[in-house]
Structure 1
Amino acid sequence: MSVAGAQPAGVLQASRINSTVSAPPLVRNIAVDAYRGLVMLLMMGEVLRFAAIARAFPASTFWSILAWNQTHVEWAGMSLHDTIQPGFTFLAGVALPYSIRSRMRKGESFPHMLFHTILRSFILIALGIFLRSTAGPTTYFTFEDTLTQIGLGYTFAFLLAFAKPRWQWIATGAILFAYWLAWSLYPAPGANFNWAAAGVSPEWHEHLYSGFAAHWNKNSNLGQAFDVWFLNLFPRTSPFRFNEGGYLTLSFIPTLGTMLLGLIAGRWFTEAAPRIPLRKFLIAAASMIALGCLFHFTGICPIVKRIWTPSWTLFSGGVCFLFLAAFSWIIDVKGNRRIALPLVVVGMNSIAAYLMAHLWEEFIQNTFRIHLGPPVLNLFGTAFEPLFLGALTLLAYWLLLFWMYRRKIFLRI
């Protein structure tokens, strides 16, 4: 990880990724920064604790909707909160062509870029493990969080960035089909399957599938079998039996598909510059959302974020294309760049924002509790204390990021 005064990767230019260093000058893609900023704010916004407010006002539809969209769905479907990880992963792919072009302009060789990519992958994996281990007595080796999932697939995405466009599409399709086929061939849970031993309570059975879709049931699938073997190779305080949320290490494979969709979007940006390829974004969005829904409702492959099914890759990838099109239209086509500043401040320092949200929440909130106390925190009533405290915490995050932005301090891996 480094602290840089120069602007990080995420720039827009008009030539192909393998062009020479005589390419046109680099120009920042503010829409990409703003979209990344929204993704990070949604993650950091967990401190607002909408669920606590919804419990205090159980009859309120407004707070129920906000609370539902600030948590992950139990299994199939998508809430606003479920768009965070695919958005972050998709944008990692979007930034790849820009990063490679910038390094090529500086005269870096392919071996040097590959070494840096492998090192970046390793750091992302290690950072993910570290953040997962901060609350435990020992290192908690797990590989299903956002950073480790990106790290596991990042080098492969880098190599495919040098492939011809059709091979990028072929690779994406092949990855998703092969992953779907492997899960389809793995035996589905039978009638006598011990769901309690797999961490699936009777109350949760309403989310279980029957028929062919049962291959994608919680903690009874190919990814679960892999993790029972793989994760127990590492030192643990107790043997790994299941992940309570159903999350899996092997999800990095279809997650790579999400990153490759972002890579394709980044290539479209560079090839079309200074124009914005809105039509391509919208066609891609409609096609992928339609395909994901088709596979889901026919029972071929359900849309499940927690295990990152191929249908989820398509459906969430389409949503990412929609977000990218919306930000590009508002900021670049309509020229509303100034209103994007609050998001750009966060988006240009996404790693710093990620670390703040995972490491500083308790410290900042305890500081407010000590120095402000109930008279201030209960200003709007005790029911709204979690929201008010969360808003102060989120403001503290943003002000620190703004201070870093003004001084051109950007954390990069």
Structure 2
Amino acid sequence: MKTSSTNNRLLSLDALRGFDMIWILGAEGIFAALFTLTGWELWRVFAEQFKHSQWHGITFYDLIFPLFIFLSGVTLGIAGKSLLGVSTEQRLKVYKKALLRLLLLCFFGVLYNHGWGQGAPVDAEKVRYASVLMRIGVAWFFAALIVWHCNLIAQISIAIGILLTYWFFQVFVAAPSGFSGELVAGESWNSWFDQHFLPGITYQNMSPDPEGILSHIPAIVNALGGAFAGKIIVQSALHTKQKLLFLTGFSATCLLLGYLWSLLLPLNKTLWTSSFTLVSIGWSCVLLIIFYFLIDVLNWRRVGMFFAVIGANAILLYLLSSLFNWQYFINSLLGGLVSRFDNSVGPLLAIVALVLTQWLLAKWLYEKKIFMRV
């Protein structure tokens, strides 16, 4: 982790990361507030998309987490780093840096899990170790090792192998606590692994944990999918239109295969099924295409910068959302003003104030060139 000056970054990548992050910062409630204000059915439909699926199925909110993993892979593809033919000494330096990044993300994940003034328990058995940041770190770490040591054909083969093996293991191999093909929470392989090998507690005592052990494996493919998209973007031999066509073809292929597969293997974020992996990669790539086209091709820089100031410090803002009670701060600062409005307008103003305050902090950090890099 370090603070550093800005460097040459793909603006659409930071912008898309910021767009992803803004829904975690509180903007996800804006559609419910708009429905309360207007009563328009469209806002209610949008509001439903900002709730996680109860079990099988997929909503927009289910895509927020996989998109972060996908974008971490895009950076791998854009960097184009390879360790083939590199000396052992140089490799060890890269490995140490990658391992340190993984460990820091795991630590920050525990910090986030026990935020809001609670503090991590003294009893190690009461700590929740599994986290969103750990999942991002693990997926990136193993995807990086694959990208650094394998050519493109090998990367694709490994990704396919992971998805097929995970599907076969989940569906056709009977778990000790259930029967083969049972994608029921407490009877799945994911649940069994978390009960026997995941230290500490699970999220809300759920079994399996949404960020549990076994579902780390297919998430690696999300990062590899991002790496493939990143490779396309930096291909100097391709014209912009060709890049967009390749990205569109890639996203369409993932969506088609994922939804067809879901007829046999349900889309499930908690289990992170192979069908969910493909569909989440496909939609992540669709969003990347939109942002890349609007910001880096059509040069909509102002739109890009609005989101990029958040995306450039996404991890810091994510941690602050747990370590600092923004809602309490907004209520203390503007609670009197918001209370002057009726119950239909007040919630909307509160959400706008919440997000705008965090955005202003992100903008200040961006202008001061202060970035938290992990």
Cα distance 1:46–1:330, how it changes in 2: closer, same or farther (>3 A)? closer
Q: Is the 8 A contact 2:33 2:347 kept in 1?
A: yes
The 2-side partners of 1:243 and 1:58 are apart by: 39
- Tell me, yes or no, if structure 1 residue 281 matches structure 2 residue 253: no
- 1:183 counterpart (170, 173, 198): 170
The 2-side partners of 1:386 and 1:241 are apart by: 31
- Tell me, yes or no, if structure 1 residue 2 matches structure 2 residue 2: yes
- Tell me, yes or no, if structure 1 residue 72 matches structure 2 residue 39: no
- Tell me, yes or no, if structure 1 residue 120 matches structure 2 residue 120: no
The 1-side partners of 2:129 and 2:258 are apart by: 25
The 2-side partners of 1:120 and 1:247 are apart by: 18
Q: Is the 8 A contact 2:175 2:192 kept in 1?
A: no
Secondary structure of the residue aligned to 1:219 is helix
- 1:89 counterpart (69, 75, 84): 69
The 2-side partners of 1:239 and 1:389 are apart by: 28
Secondary structure of the residue aligned to 1:90 is helix
Cα distance 1:37–1:357, how it changes in 2: closer, same or farther (>3 A)? same
Number of residue pairs aligned between Structure 1 and Structure 2: 363
Q: Is the 8 A contact 1:378 1:384 kept in 2?
A: no
Q: What is the CA deviation profile of residues 62-90 of structure 1, one whole-angstrom value per residue up to 9, with x for unaligned ones? A: 34223212211112222221121111000
- 2:338 counterpart (377, 395, 399): 377
Cα distance 1:226–1:188, how it changes in 2: closer, same or farther (>3 A)? closer
Provide the residue aligned with 2:141 in structure 1.
155
Provide the residue aligned with 1:341 in structure 2.
305
Cα distance 1:45–1:311, how it changes in 2: closer, same or farther (>3 A)? same
- Tell me, yes or no, if structure 1 residue 171 matches structure 2 residue 158: yes
Q: Is the 8 A contact 2:80 2:231 kept in 1?
A: no
Q: Is the 8 A contact 2:185 2:208 kept in 1?
A: no
Moved more, 218-227 or 77-86: 77-86
Q: CA RMSD in A?
A: 3.1
Provide the residue aligned with 2:347 in structure 1.
386
Moved more, 112-121 or 35-44: 35-44
- 1:398 counterpart (359, 366, 370): 359
- The alpha carbon displacement at 1:323 in A equals 0.9
Provide the residue aligned with 1:408 in structure 2.
369
Cα distance 1:367–1:336, how it changes in 2: closer, same or farther (>3 A)? closer
Amino acid in the other structure paired with 1:181: F
- Tell me, yes or no, if structure 1 residue 366 matches structure 2 residue 328: yes
- Tell me, yes or no, if structure 1 residue 229 matches structure 2 residue 196: yes
The 2-side partners of 1:395 and 1:120 are apart by: 30
- The alpha carbon displacement at 1:247 in A equals 5.1
- The alpha carbon displacement at 1:60 in A equals 4.6
- Tell me, yes or no, if structure 1 residue 62 matches structure 2 residue 42: yes
4+ residue runs of structure 1 moved beyond 6 angstroms? Answer: 238-241
Cα distance 1:137–1:151, how it changes in 2: closer, same or farther (>3 A)? closer
Q: Is the 8 A contact 2:25 2:321 kept in 1?
A: yes
Provide the residue aligned with 2:16 in structure 1.
35
Cα distance 1:185–1:141, how it changes in 2: closer, same or farther (>3 A)? farther
- The alpha carbon displacement at 1:328 in A equals 1.5
- For normalisation by structure 1, the TM-score amounts to 0.79
The 2-side partners of 1:310 and 1:93 are apart by: 18
Q: Is the 8 A contact 1:345 1:402 kept in 2?
A: yes
Q: Is the 8 A contact 1:186 1:221 kept in 2?
A: no
The 2-side partners of 1:246 and 1:110 are apart by: 33
Provide the residue aligned with 1:16 in structure 2.
none
The 2-side partners of 1:75 and 1:241 are apart by: 16
Moved more, 77-86 or 393-402: 77-86
Secondary structure of the residue aligned to 2:247 is helix
The 2-side partners of 1:239 and 1:67 are apart by: 24
Q: Is the 8 A contact 1:144 1:251 kept in 2?
A: no
